[in-house]
Structure 1
Amino acid sequence: MSDRIPVSPDWLSEAVGTVFTAAGLSPRAAATVAGSLVEADLRGTPSHGVMLVPMYVERLRKGSVSTAETAEVVHDVGAVAVLDARHALGQLTGDQAMELAVDKARTYGIGAVTVRHAFHFGGAYRYARAAAVAGCVGIAAANTRPLMPAPGGASAVVGNNPLAVGVPTGHGEPILLDMALSEAALGKIRLAAQEGRPIPPTWATDRDGTPTTDPAEALAGLLLPAAGHKGYGLALVVDVLTGVLSGGAFGGGVRGLYADTSTPNDCAHFFLALDVAAFGDRAGFEQRVAVLGAQITGSPKAHGTERLLLPGQLEAERQAASSGVPLDASVLGALTETATSLGVTLGEPR
């Protein structure tokens, strides 16, 4: 495994922001995207972190990702809206879409926003958490290029379509589910390939459908759905909620992030906010969530288990406890090379 280098989050955020500013974003937009990627590393999900910078920048330079910083509202009726992201970076239009969904939820009790002609938005948890912090149950989802077969199939027909749900607790971090619908996110396989380490045989197959531990073979093959037909079915539904519902791309219409960086990714997103206060007393909701959480974390543990966790709890604890980002040397090297290609000198990490 490659060496990991502890890097200051402030230095890393500034460095990544400088790179995106040099690539054509405003300082505000660059800081937003940089903060999203660094936070993912802090939470222990490097597949959605700074490793993505070279690919994002390559796409900005080739024009398949635009420097637009807001999506266009193309349909807005009551609690529902449809946005056209114009191929902008997904963190920017994702923040915009969930903020609009929350605003609608405060008026109507529910807000639903779809986004077409979108791009990778980083960790889906970001948007579900934003809704939960605002007092709403939040749901965020995205479709990807086909990566998984239907049960019994021999070709990819659905993406691993990430899905996140945030639940407000009223006393600290939300309960936060964030998962790809494959056994593992594609970004984790790319990271394993970059670091030169094997992957579990349950993550993916080679191009012939044989399970593999070689990440390079996996990248040329198929991802395996989480829980078999259940993960496949959920992935199909997410494709409907994102691409089909928004009028954007779905199925084979969504392009890969890495395969052809001159062609727009053209994914689609879905955001839902439910204002818990519209269902009754918000304090009562939070109290019931606390009781439910205590029932789970206080339940009997299997032998050898130290404690039971709620979804998102471990990632939030990692972020709160971290004083630095354990950045893989290959990721830091790629960031430095990208900066140099843009005429930017980052200096020594601190």
Structure 2
Amino acid sequence: MTQNAQVQTVWSEAELSALAVKAFQGLGLTLADAKDVVQVLVMADLFGLSTHGLSRVESYGERLLVKGISARPNITVQSPAPALRLVDGDNGVGPLVGMHALRAAMQAAKECGIGMAFARGSNHFGPISPYSLLAAQEGFASIIGSNATTTIAPWGGSDARLGNSPLGFGVPNPGGDPFLLDMAMSVVARAKIRNAFKRGEAIPDTWATDDKGRATTDPKAALDGFLQPIGGHKGYGLALLVDLFAGLLSNAAYLTHVKSWVDAPDEPQNLGHFFILINTQMLGSTQWLAERMTDFASILHDSPAAVEGRPVIVPGEIELHKMKQQRAQGITLDATTVILLHQHAARAK
């Protein structure tokens, strides 16, 4: 397919998944591994998280082609204790390693009531909310995190020493929408700063610093500098905690030991993730949990809106509404990503 050809940009979930699976097979993955990766990325697109969805085929694909990511990893799982799993991703694609770790933690939680999986030897694994939703659909509450390439300076520092590490939580709601919270450790994503720079607009001085660690309203200086953590020194501490669990305890790389996929695309990043799952079925019946979750949400929803037309929402509502909408009307994907998917799919044998 050429750049000038008419490109289909609205897809059914089944059609898009089939194309994406073929694309990752074209990049060297097995059919089963490609399905794992695509499940996470398509779910991200369904949620409206396009920056972490199938658009990632560009960066994942570049690194797969230069052998910076292994297309055929030998992922292993060890069980040093009944509720603990250690996953070695063997430098596989991040969502593939993430799915192995999620399943390992689920198995442990089914047996013990609570399960934890540490993953090492991984790469960018997409957003957390798909994993949280998959866990919630099986009756598991979850705490999930990953470390990342360094983009944030330590509190009071003047160079990047820690990553914008995501942290997420999920609580199932039998018969209803689960609670899903997925957040990174910066005030805003770098993409928002980049968009402000393109528009020639100033940014709030709480978003980022310049390359000397000083707060700035200049988006160009911010792009050359560092992201600000949420909540100041509290967000800094939270980002460190995620890296301690995801990187240090998992025996993966941490802080500045994490290699940048931009600067060294042909080298393993050795990112780490952690999955803590709680089997809610061992806490009470599904009716018990559904009643409490419904009441929990009602208490919040019943608060009068401070701004007319903007009612109180529970984390996850926007994403789950977007998912339902796109499953009914089709998933919208940008033409560049579609073209790239077709190009990689053409390599599949």
TM over 0.5: yes
Q: Does 1:239 align with 2:248?
A: no
Q: Which consecutive residues of structure 1, in runs of 5 or more, have no partner in the other structure?
A: none
Tell me if structure 2 keeps the 8 A contact 1:116–1:266: yes
The alpha carbon displacement at 1:296 in A equals: 0.5
Alignment of 1:1-350 (within 5 A): 6-10=9-13, 11-68=15-72, 71-186=75-190, 188-189=191-192, 192=195, 200-201=203-204, 202-209=206-213, 210-212=215-217, 214=219, 218-322=222-326, 323-328=329-334, 332-333=335-336, 335-337=338-340, 339-340=342-343, 342=344, 344=346
- 1:49-108 Cα offsets, whole Å, 9 max, x none, are 122111101111111211235621244311011111011112112112111212211211
Q: What SS does structure 1 have at the residue aligned with 2:333?
A: strand
Q: Say if 1:324 and 1:277 are closer, same or farther in 2 by CA, change over 3 A.
A: closer
The alpha carbon displacement at 1:6 in A equals: 4.1
Match of 2:4 in 1: none
Counterpart Cα distance in 2 of 1:141 and 1:337:
29
Q: What SS does structure 1 have at the residue aligned with 2:275?
A: strand
Q: Which consecutive residues of structure 2, in runs of 5 or more, have no partner in the other structure?
A: 1-6
Counterpart Cα distance in 1 of 2:120 and 2:263:
20
Tell me if structure 2 keeps the 8 A contact 1:175–1:312: yes
Q: Say if 1:96 and 1:338 are closer, same or farther in 2 by CA, change over 3 A.
A: closer
Query: What amino acid maps onto 1:333 in structure 2?
Result: T
**Which deviates further from its counterpart, 4-13 or 82-91?**
4-13
Q: What SS does structure 2 have at the residue aligned with 1:272?
A: strand
The alpha carbon displacement at 1:38 in A equals: 2.7
Counterpart Cα distance in 2 of 1:130 and 1:70:
24
Tell me if structure 2 keeps the 8 A contact 1:59–1:262: yes
Counterpart Cα distance in 2 of 1:327 and 1:190:
22
Tell me if structure 2 keeps the 8 A contact 1:69–1:93: no
RMSD (CA atoms): 2.7
Between Structure 1 and Structure 2, how many residues are aligned? 337
Counterpart Cα distance in 1 of 2:189 and 2:121:
22
Tell me if structure 2 keeps the 8 A contact 1:129–1:138: no
TM-score, normalising length from structure 1?
0.87
Q: Say if 1:152 and 1:66 are closer, same or farther in 2 by CA, change over 3 A.
A: same
TM-score, normalising length from structure 2?
0.87
- 1:275-332 Cα offsets, whole Å, 9 max, x none, are 123334443233212211110011221132432211011111011012233334xxx3
- Identity, in percent, stands at 32
Query: What amino acid maps onto 1:311 in structure 2?
Result: P
The alpha carbon displacement at 1:119 in A equals: 1.0
Query: What amino acid maps onto 1:344 in structure 2?
Result: A
Counterpart Cα distance in 1 of 2:241 and 2:331:
35
